[in-house]
């Protein structure tokens, strides 16, 4: 009997551990009911600005990406509907496609049409908006962001402090708190600036999970703008 009780407790412990491990992945689904990937069901937006020269140096050159022939600095990677923990993805139930005119209109802030189509399918379909409204929202937020003067036209590569970059963005954008922005990096380069907005886009919002993904390096490399 004693051995049976020990075995039963061991099985129960394994079940508890398994539930705990799967709980994080299923958190969004559990708090929103049967499905977290439902259009319009999310807590806030993340506007993600990518430093194009870093992408090109790390990945784009291998793909001969046309983006890397253009003098891009910060470009829109995406506008992501987000849960407080986790995020919805691939919510497309109707198979909506992005009209060509919408793609053409936004090639100045998105680096490629291929990226726009990908972002719409993975993230835009979860916004509850149609493609035109979704990309209009991304453009409106991008136009509201003031890029710090020190990052507006980097003509020579340099080392930067990610915390200093964040501080410069906060100084250039009134009301942007430390809890609503994250600067990310890879093992070598500064990669993205992520800014969190309320669902109605009326202002910034704290986003602890996004903030926790911020770069922890003291110094990181900032490649120069290309094609100048």
pLDDT of residue 20: 34
Is the pLDDT at 26 greater than 60, yes or no?
no
Band (pLDDT 50/70/90 cuts) for residue 228 is: low
Q: What is the mean pLDDT of residues 129-142?
A: 97
| Span 81-131, pLDDT tens digits | 999 999 999 998 677 899 999 999 999 999 999 999 999 999 999 999 999
Question: Across all residues in the chain, what is the average pLDDT?
Answer: 86
CATH fit for domain 37-222, picks 3.10.105.10, 3.90.730.10, 2.40.110.10, 3.40.50.2000: 3.90.730.10
Burial-class residue 44 by CB neighbours within 10 Å (0-12, 13-18, 19+). buried
Average pLDDT over residues 65-70: 88
CA pseudo-torsion sign 183, 73, 189, 219? negative
pLDDT band at 62 (very low <50, low <70, confident <90, very high): confident
The packing angle between helices 131-144 and 113-122, to 10°, is 110
113 and 66 Cβ atoms separated by less than 8 Å: no
pLDDT at 196 over 80: yes
What pLDDT, on the 0 to 100 scale, is given for residue 63? 80
Q: Which pTM value belongs to this model?
A: 0.84
């Amino acid at each position: 009997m004693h051995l049976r009780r020990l075995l039963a407790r061991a099985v129960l412990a394994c079940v508890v551990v398994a539930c705990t491990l799967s709980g994080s992945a299923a958190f969004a689904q559990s708090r929103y009911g049967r499905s977290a990937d439902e259009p319009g069901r999310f807590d806030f937006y993340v506007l993600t600005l990518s430093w194009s020269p870093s992408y090109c140096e790390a990945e784009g050159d291998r793909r001969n990406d046309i983006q890397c022939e253009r003098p891009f600095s910060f470009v829109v990677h995406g506008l992501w509907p987000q849960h407080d923990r986790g995020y919805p993805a691939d919510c497309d139930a109707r198979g909506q496609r992005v009209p060509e005119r919408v793609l053409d209109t936004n090639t100045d802030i998105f680096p490629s049409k291929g990226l726009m189509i990908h972002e719409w399918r993975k993230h835009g379909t979860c916004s509850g908006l149609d493609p035109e409204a979704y990309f209009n929202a991304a453009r409106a937020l991008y136009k509201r962001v003031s890029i710090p003067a020190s990052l507006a036209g980097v003509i020579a590569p340099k080392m930067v402090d990610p915390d200093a970059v964040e501080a410069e963005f906060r100084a250039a954008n009134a009301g942007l708190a430390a809890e609503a922005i994250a600067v990310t990096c890879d093992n070598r380069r500064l990669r993205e600036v992520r800014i969190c907005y309320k669902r109605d886009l009326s202002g910034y919002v704290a986003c602890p999970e996004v903030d926790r993904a911020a770069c922890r390096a003291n110094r990181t490399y900032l490649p120069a703008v290309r094609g100048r």
